[in-house]
Amino acid sequence: MPSSPIFHAIFFAAGALVGAGAVSIAESRRERAKPPTPTSTAIVEIGPSGAPGLVQRAGDVLKYGHPGPIFDCIQRKAYTLGYDRRLRHPAWTAEHLTLASVSPPPDDPNGPDRHKSVFKEDESIPFAFRSLLKDYFRSGYDRGHMVPAADAKSSQEAMDETFFLTNIAPQVGDGFNRHYWAYVESWCRKLTNSFSDVFVFTVPLYLPKQDPDGKWRVVSLFPQLVRA
């Protein structure tokens, strides 16, 4: 029979091999569990011709990712949005406001003119999923900007882009879109007087409401998350 020291050496070697394997497996699992390093987000940018193109943009408002799964992520001059093809309006919008972006450019003290901007369908979205001007005709709802035109005063083009229907959702007009919601939008812009960077994320919210006639109707609200 082999001597006791030999058995001890064999058992020690076997234990060392098993221990080393367990440590290796544990380290491998820890490596896989590490959170991924933030990278630039792939988005769709609309070129001068109106054709969408996939681009990589780092350091923007979505540098840590976007709020949720979407079909179309569109980059404009004043904002980025995720378009919901099912509901045919933004799933969310994201803005990086600065004092310069909400003020007229130095070479044009009067700034862009809202009256020159018109609501228009976004042809970068396939027709089957596109929001149409006729969808709002006599609907009883305002064409509510999720990114307001007044947030895009850096140029006429930037303001015009807020009138794409991909930036619009149905909104109660009297008492909300033209009043309380406008006050919230103004408050966000005024934050740029105190903070160099203001990030605004907006989503649509539908709430059922029973009117005096007994019928149930949907009230569309736009909750906002503001970070300065």
pLDDT above 70 coverage of the chain, percent: 68
- Band the pLDDT of 223: cuts 50, 70, 90: low
- Band the pLDDT of 213: cuts 50, 70, 90: confident
pLDDT per residue as tens digits for the range 15-73: 544 454 544 555 555 444 444 343 334 445 555 555 544 443 434 688 777 777 666 88
pLDDT greater at residue 147 or residue 30: 147
Total residue count of the chain as it appears in this document: 228
The distance from CA 168 to its chain's CA centroid, rounded to whole angstroms, is: 14
Q: Which among 89, 96, 145, 179 is annotated as catalytic?
A: 145
The torsion region of residue 36 among left (phi > 0), alpha (psi -120 to 50) and beta comes to: beta
pLDDT greater at residue 225 or residue 193: 193
Whole-number average pLDDT of the chain: 77
CA distance 145 to 91: 13
pLDDT per residue as tens digits for the range 40-52: 344 455 555 555 4
Neighbours of 104 (CB within 10 A): 14
pLDDT at 79 over 50: yes
Which token pair is 214? Answer: 């007994």
Q: What is the mean pLDDT of residues 90-113?
A: 91
pLDDT greater at residue 6 or residue 200: 200
Q: What is the Rg, in whole angstroms, of the alpha carbon atoms belonging to the chain?
A: 27
Per the CB < 8 A criterion, the answer to whether 146 and 204 are in contact is: yes
Q: Strands 198-202 and 89-97, how do they pair?
A: antiparallel
Which DSSP string do the residues of 67-115 spell out, in sequence order? SS--SEEEE-SS-EEEEETTTTEEEEEEEEE-TTTTS--TT-TT---GG
Per the CB < 8 A criterion, the answer to whether 199 and 153 are in contact is: no
pLDDT at 208 over 50: yes
Question: Any catalytic annotation for residue 179?
Answer: no
